[in-house]
Amino acid sequence: MNWIPRIFRRRTLFDDLSEEMRLHLEERVEQLTREGLSPQEAERQARIAFGNLAVVEERSRAVWQWPTLESIAADARLAVRQLRRSPGFTIAAVLTLALAIGANSVVFGVLNALVLKPLNVPRPQSLFTIERGGYKDQATSYPDYLDLRDRNRTFEALTAYILVPVGFDTGKNPSQAWGYEVAGNYFQAMDVQPFLGRFFSVADEHGPNSAPYLVLSWSYWHTHFQDDRGVVGRVVQVNKHPFTILGVAPPDFSGTLIFFYPDFWAPMVQQEQIQGIDVLNNRGQRNIFMVLGHIKPGVTQAQAIADLNSIGSYLEKTYPKEDAWMTYSLARPSLAGDLLGPGVTGFMTGMMLLAGLILLAACANLGSLFSARAADRSREVALRLALGSTRRRIVRALFTEAVLISLTGGVAGLLGSVALLQRLSVWHPIPQYPMHVPVYPDAKVYLVALFLALASGFLFGAVPVRQILRTNPYEVVKAGSAGIIAGHTSRRITFRDVLLAVQIAICAVLVTSSLVALRGLERSVHSSFGFDPRNVMLADTDLSMSGYSGDQRPAMQKRMIEALQPIPGVKSVGFISQVPLSGGSSTEDVFTSQATDLTPSKAAANSVAVFSISPDYFRAAGTALITGSIFSWQNSKDAPPVAVVNAVFARRIFGSVSNAIGNYYKRENGTRVQVVGVVEDGKYYQLTENPRPAEFLPFPQNPTHLAALVVRSDRDPQQLAAEIRSTLRGLDSGLPFTIQTWNEGLDIALFPSRVATVALGILGLMGAMLSITGIFGMAAYSVSRRLRELGIRIALGAQHKEILQAALGRAVKLLAIGSAAGLALGILATRVLAAVVYQATPRDPLVLAGVVLAMALLGLVATWIPAQRALSVDPLVLLREE
């Protein structure tokens, strides 16, 4: 190729060319002088005959250049020079874009990692979880699972798992760990290979408690076994039962939920040892968290559903007592199907939309800045046109500036967002759960960010194009700067005004939604939970972790209560199987006392929250008794069954609260229970749940392996926690406890709305910043363009008010129009928020007032400096300048 040396020769080539053209003109001038013209006239004639020297030279040089690439480079060099001359403008523009692109790539990064990207298993496209009935319930009983696994013809293999916390003891310090209790075929069905040792399989199982094996996750092995390759074959204690470590899973396999990393996997047949319950033969106990598997190649989703439904109707017919609503649907397993999928997807889509709005607002902002800049430079443009530049060339130079800014801003934003995403990925939001937000950015994130940067560059670069194309060099040069002003400050609405109004509207939408979210969070923290979490410590454990069973459990539970009561400063100690809003749930169907047919479809109330409590629980929790009384320690195992219910339960089963006292209902297992008291309603499983029925049973009558102690006191939480810990250690040193304040315990319930609020708050802040820069830019520009006019007005005796009106009237008007439009839109948009943020309603006078106040404040901040400048105009100085 001969172009390589040509690049180096080019300097000489171009020098030769210039020299040659200069000599040409010289020769012509000489000739003309000889013919009798004056030197000046000869020079003029020669130039006319030659044509536009600069254009000729450019066209001659162009012959040697790679047409596009090099002229782009030349344009870029020019653009860099131009931008350097106005550093303030450049920095503001780059920062604006960096923020907007950064916000977009963070939101897209999360959307991509949680929603778009499938699970990290082979062939994720064909992997589905099975959901049952209209409620999209994923819970399945083990016998039903076995039927589904063995009778289906459309899945390669159906497997299942349960999430379980256990006491994990390697011989030293026992600690809590989280695992998946899985069906024997789990690893084969997921098609993963061990990193170390081997995985268990169906062949290892021979009935209950026949396969005491464990597979460790890579990260647990890494952190708790220090990468010791000798762990294979070692025996560890899980809930006081010996389990043999068979192998270690590969580092890139962290279970089949995207955000919940297990520490180990163990066979489900060990359920009795691990969970202390054995419901492997109980068809009515749906305690499997998820059933999932790959659809066979060539089988459609509809075929798979039809196949499952036919098994479902067989199960309904064969086991009418246990199985109802056995119709199935499929969902993606990564976000636990419909449990979190729609919420997360909806929220992230909403966030993406808002982030897109931010970018749009930034583009509108930059578009009006660019068009102001183009107006300022109209003389330069006119001169360049007059000197022979084409309009295309000028427009291209403008686009080059825009794209240069957008790429610089885009790269800066991307770098920032990558750093943020990486920090998010190692974040461990709730200490007691192995939860992760694995949002490592991938190539898709980079591509989207770059694409958005380029697209927005072209978008805001296009704003001043019409202006350039309309420029008439003759007019501009003739009129001077005064003429341009007259042309651009006419009364009609300009495109720039529209852009600013749109931008302010977008920002008002963002401010509205973030205020709505903040307010929702504030309310959800202060709303009635049906208990009072202040001044309460919680001590959580699971008795099966220490091997308690049968009658040992209520005895131990009672001992724990009695041990804590004498601690100084403790007012009351209550016991409950599971603390409300702590993440777990246990529900059953209840029936009227006359009911004989206990199939789920005949139930008087479905999904009733079930709690086992001690008589003192309500006092410790601060739950108010509405009517009746609370059972006492006399209601032991053999006494007639009694219960306290909440108001929703009383109204739904007995018609009214007063009717409930002394009346009977039937539980799912057929027990007839008498209601002795009614307590206030509360939140039990989710902050956003609708009021639901709940029953509270004496724990000796409804035994449980779970144990949470609710300790109300006026002591300092730190000291109290230490004392509770040492007291409980004294009872059983091998029982792991989680001790925290109740407010800390609410973290998991408040997590979604907190995340939503922080995210929306940041977006709202960005929206506010963008509207400040937008209004400031417009106000500062219009003041600077009209300084002379303002000076004359002041000289003629105008008052401050009139000056301000002249200088900023338009900006303020646009702010008002934009804010009103944005507020209206924001109210529509925040309906979406209600799904995530508890009690998010835009029809809240505080929110409305807040938005109006915020926008007014933003306007004040943004117009302050330009207003000061307008007021401090000294007419004498200005008039002297021209």
Partner 1 sequence: MPMTDTSRDLFPGALEMMILESLRRQPAHGYALVQHIQLRSKNLLQVEEGSLYPALQRLLKAKLVKAEWGLSSTNRRVRTYQITPAGLRRLEQQISSFERMFEGIALVLNPGKSPAS
Distance CA 206, CA 210 (A): 5
Cβ proximity to partner 1: between 17 and 832 the closer is: 17
Of residues 389 and 782, the one with the C-beta less far from partner 1: 389
The piece of 59-67, 148-156, 326-334, 410-418 that touches partner 1 (CB under 8 A) is: 59-67
Q: One-letter amino acid identity for 713?
A: S
Q: Strand pairing partners for 247?
A: 197, 215
Query: What is the sign, positive or negative, of the torsion defined by CA atoms of 602, 607, 611, 612?
Result: positive
Residue 475 binds to partner 1 (criterion: CB under 8 A): no
Beta carbons of 344 and 89 less than 8 angstroms apart:
no
Q: Of the two residues 385 and 403, which places its CB atom closer to partner 1 in the complex? A: 385
Kindly state the smallest distance separating residue 816's Cβ from partner 1, in Å.
Answer: 42
Q: What HEC string does 755-824 produce?
A: HHHHHHHHHHHHHHHHHHHHHHHHHHHHHHHCHHHHHHHHHCCCCHHHHHHHHHHHHHHHHHHHHHHHHH
For partner 1, the closer of residues 438 and 473 by Cβ is 473
Measured from the CB atom, the residue of 56 and 277 that comes closer to partner 1 is 56
Q: Are strands 706-713 and 587-592 parallel, antiparallel or unpaired?
A: unpaired
Cα R_g (the chain), whole angstroms? 37
Binder among 86, 281, 390, 868 for partner 1 (CB under 8 A): 390
Residue 334 Cβ vs partner 1, minimum distance, rounded to whole Å: 60
CB of 9 to partner 1, least distance (A): 12
Q: Shortest Cβ distance from residue 357 to partner 1 (Å)?
A: 40
For partner 1, which residue of 7, 9, 15, 27 counts as binding (CB under 8 A)? Answer: 27
59 touches partner 1 by CB under 8 A:
yes
Which residues inside 62-101 make contact with partner 1, applying CB under 8 A? 62-64
Total residues binding partner 1 (CB under 8 A): 25
> Per CB under 8 A, does 16 bind partner 1?
yes
* Site membership for partner 1, residue 668 (CB under 8 A): no
Instruction: Choose which of 37, 53, 755, 871 interacts with partner 1 (CB under 8 A).
Output: 53
CB of residue 26 to partner 1, shortest distance in Å: 8
Residue 21 or 563 having the CB closest to partner 1: 21
| Long-range contacts, stretch 846-852, CB < 8 angstroms, 24+ apart | 846/519, 847/512, 847/515, 847/516, 847/519, 848/823, 850/515, 850/519, 851/508, 851/511, 851/512, 851/515, 851/819, 851/823, 851/826, 852/819, 852/823
Asked if 828 interacts with partner 1 (CB under 8 A), we say: no
Sign of CA dihedral 667, 670, 671, 675: positive
d(CA 339, CA 720): 37
Whose tokens are 């979604």? That residue is 752
Name the token pair of 530.
Answer: 């049906």
* Residue 28 binds partner 1 (CB under 8 A): yes
Q: Specify the stretch interacting with partner 1 by CB under 8 A; choose among 11-19, 305-313, 425-433, 733-741.
A: 11-19
CB 745 within 8 A of CB 536: no
Q: How far is the CB of 64 from partner 1 (least distance, A)?
A: 6
Select from 37, 45, 56, 871 the one that contacts partner 1 (CB under 8 A).
56
Verify binding: residue 50, partner 1, rule CB under 8 A.
yes
Residue nearer to partner 1 on the CB measure, 17 or 821: 17
Q: Which of 33, 45, 60, 349 binds partner 1 (CB under 8 A)?
A: 60
Shortest gap between Cβ of 378 and partner 1 (angstroms)?
A: 16
Please tell me whether residue 17 binds partner 1 under the rule CB under 8 A. yes
Burial 365-385 (b: 16+ CB within 10 A, else e): bbbbbbbbbbbbbbbebbebb
Instruction: Assess 51 for contact with partner 1 (CB under 8 A).
Output: yes
Q: How many Å apart are CA 742 and CA 746, to the nearest integer?
A: 6
> How far, in Å, CA of 335 to CA of 655, rounded?
39
Give the residue carrying structure tokens 């960096």: 98
Which DSSP string corresponds to 489-527? S-SSPPHHHHHHHHHHHHHHHHHHHHHHHHHHHHHHHHS
Among 7, 9, 23, 555, which residue interacts with partner 1 (rule: CB under 8 A)?
A: 23
Q: By C-beta, is 62 or 877 nearer to partner 1?
A: 62
- By CB under 8 A, the residues from 30 to 49 that bind partner 1 are 49
Question: Under 8 Å CB-to-CB from 2, ≥6 apart: which residues?
Answer: none
Query: Which stretch in 52-60, 231-239, 245-253, 495-503 sits in contact with partner 1 by CB under 8 A?
Result: 52-60
Residue 820 touches partner 1, criterion: CB under 8 A: no
Asked whether the beta carbons of 132 and 346 are under 8 A apart, the reply is: no
Are 460 and 363 in contact by the 8 Å Cβ rule? The answer is yes
- Least Å from the CB of residue 12 to partner 1: 11
Handedness of CA 40, 42, 46, 49 (dihedral sign): positive
- Where does this chain touch partner 1 (CB under 8 A) — which range of 57-65, 457-465, 767-775, 792-800? 57-65
Whole-number Å distance between alpha carbons of 375 and 458: 18
Q: Which of residues 149-208 bind partner 1 (CB under 8 A)?
A: none
Among 10, 43, 44, 57, binds partner 1 (CB under 8 A): 57
- Whichever of 19 and 551 has its CB closer to partner 1, that residue is 19
| 662 near partner 1, judged by CB under 8 A | no
Extract the tokens encoding 443. 């190539």
CB of residue 766 to partner 1, shortest distance in Å? 43
Q: Between residues 206 and 470, which has the closer beta carbon with respect to partner 1?
A: 470
Separation of alpha carbons 185 and 171, rounded Å: 30
Is 471 or 546 the residue whose CB approaches partner 1 more closely? 471
Nearer to partner 1, 342 or 388 (CB): 388
Close Cβ partners of 458 (under 8 Å, ≥ 6 residues apart): 399, 402, 403
8 A C-beta contact, residue 357 and residue 826:
no
What is the C-alpha to C-alpha distance for residues 854 and 870, in angstroms, rounded to an integer? 24
Question: Which residue type occupies 468?
Answer: I
395 binds partner 1 (CB under 8 A): no
570, 564 Cβ separation under 8 angstroms? yes
Smaller CB distance to partner 1: residue 18 or 318?
18
**341/337 Cα distance (integer angstroms):** 5
Residue with tokens 């900006």: 811
Taking the complex as a whole, how short is the minimal distance between the CB of residue 487 and partner 1, in angstroms?
A: 19
Nearer to partner 1, 19 or 252 (CB): 19
Q: Looking at beta carbons only, is 473 or 761 nearer to partner 1? A: 473
CB of 455 to partner 1, least distance (A): 31
Rounded distance between C-alpha atoms, residue 666 and residue 646, angstroms = 16
Tell me: does residue 534 bind partner 1 (CB under 8 A). no
Measured from the CB atom, the residue of 222 and 391 that comes closer to partner 1 is: 391
Smallest separation, CB 39 to partner 1 (Å) = 18
Which of 463, 493, 475 shows the shortest CA–CA distance to 378? 475
Q: Rule CB under 8 A: say whether 388 interacts with partner 1.
A: yes
By the criterion CB under 8 A, which residues form the site for partner 1?
A: 16-17, 19-21, 23-24, 27-28, 49-53, 55-57, 59-64, 388, 390
